[in-house]
């Protein structure tokens, strides 16, 4: 037995109950996905400002790994900086295979794409704001950053040394004059 249905005034094909059930399941799944997964990367400012609406949901977050990888037995903390803030990412060691470079002075850290559950006040970690990673993707490998010494600064250094030397010579001459 077929059922005729009309959605938004458009007459659709006749559905059998099983097909209808499948369609409903598909629709429900899509709705659920829309509600919990943010396919576009979220900015840290947005996460912090609207923490309540992201709480407990799966988010995509991208940024540079900065500082050190803080190992805790089978897990580790990564601090991932997206240019606005660094957010703590709790990850199992198994997910860290592609991670090589942590950013710092003269080091550009790996750009990572994090897929994980966002916690506004993580019950597992004393109420901290964090992301529990489900997957980590290496977007761009980090590298060493060379910082050359500017010639202008070396000249300034030389100039200041000269001024100081002059002051010291004047001081010594004055001392000698006084001693006489």
Partner 1 sequence: MILKPQIRDLRIIAHFLGKIVLAYGAMMAAPIVISVLFGERVPIIDFSIGLLLSACVGFGLLKLADVPQGAEASWMHGMVVVSGGWLVCMALGAVPLYLSGHFVSYLDACFEAMSGLTTTGLSLVQDLDHLSHAANFWRHLAPFVGGQGIIVVVLSLLVKGPAGAFRLYVGEARDEKIMPNVIETAKFIWKVSLLYLAFGTAMLTAAGVWAVGMPLKESFFHGICIFMAGFDTAGFAPRSQSIIYYQSGIYEVVTLVTMIWGFFNFNLHYAVWSGKRPELWRDIETRTFLVSLTLVTAMVCVGLAQGDTYLNFSAAFRRGVYQVISGHTTTGYMTIYAPQFLTEWKPLALIGILVAMALGGYTCSTAGGIKMLRVGVIAKAFREDVKRFLTADSAVVTTKFRHLRDLFLDDKLVRSSALVIIAFLLLYFIGAVIGCYYGYPFLNSLFESTSAAATVGFSTGMTQAAMPVALKITYIVEMWAGRLEFISVLVLGGFIISFFRGK
Which residues contact partner 1 by CB under 8 A? 45, 48-51, 66-72, 76-77, 79, 81, 85-86, 88, 103-107, 120-121, 123, 125-130, 147-150, 153-154, 156-157, 160-161, 163-164, 167-168, 170-171
Tokens representing 71?
A: 């190992």
Contacts 24+ apart (CB under 8 A), 50-55: 51/118, 51/120, 51/129, 52/120, 54/118, 54/120, 55/118, 55/119, 55/120, 55/121
Q: Is the CB of 91 or the CB of 115 nearer to partner 1?
A: 91
In the complex, the smallest distance separating the C-beta of residue 78 from partner 1, rounded to whole angstroms, is: 10
Q: Is the CB of 18 or the CB of 105 nearer to partner 1?
A: 105
In the complex, the smallest distance separating the C-beta of residue 47 from partner 1, rounded to whole angstroms, is: 9
Q: Is the CB of 15 or the CB of 120 nearer to partner 1?
A: 120
Whole-angstrom distance, CA of residue 41 vs CA of residue 64? 13
In the complex, the smallest distance separating the C-beta of residue 122 from partner 1, rounded to whole angstroms, is: 8
Q: Is the CB of 34 or the CB of 155 nearer to partner 1?
A: 155
DSSP 116-156: EEEEEEETTTTTEEEEEEEEEEEEE--EE---PPPHHHHHH
In the complex, the smallest distance separating the C-beta of residue 32 from partner 1, rounded to whole angstroms, is: 23
**DSSP-based three-state secondary structure for 15:** strand
In the complex, the smallest distance separating the C-beta of residue 88 from partner 1, rounded to whole angstroms, is: 5
In the complex, the smallest distance separating the C-beta of residue 164 from partner 1, rounded to whole angstroms, is: 5
Q: Is the CB of 59 or the CB of 86 nearer to partner 1?
A: 86
Whole-angstrom distance, CA of residue 138 vs CA of residue 110? 7
Q: Answer for the pair 154, 161: CB distance below 8 angstroms, yes or no.
A: no
C-alpha R_g of the chain? 30
Q: Is the CB of 4 or the CB of 153 nearer to partner 1?
A: 153
């Amino acid at each position: 037995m077929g059922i005729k249905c009309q959605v938004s005034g458009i007459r659709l094909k006749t559905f059998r109950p099983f097909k209808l059930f499948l369609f409903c399941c598909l629709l429900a799944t899509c709705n659920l996905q829309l509600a919990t997964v943010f396919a576009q990367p979220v900015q840290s400012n947005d996460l912090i400002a609207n923490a309540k609406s992201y709480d407990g949901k799966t988010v995509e977050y991208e940024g540079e790994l900065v500082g050190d990888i803080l190992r805790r037995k089978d897990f580790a903390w990564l601090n991932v900086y997206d240019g606005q803030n660094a957010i703590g990412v709790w990850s199992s060691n198994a997910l860290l295979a592609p991670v090589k470079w942590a950013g710092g002075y003269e080091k550009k850290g790996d750009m990572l794409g994090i897929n994980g559950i966002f916690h506004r006040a993580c019950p597992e970690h004393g109420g901290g704001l964090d992301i529990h990673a489900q997957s980590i993707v290496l977007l761009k490998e980090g590298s060493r950053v060379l910082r050359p010494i500017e010639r202008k600064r070396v000249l300034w250094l030389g100039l200041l040394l000269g001024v100081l030397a002059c002051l010291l010579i004047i001081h010594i001459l004055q001392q000698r004059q006084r001693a006489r």
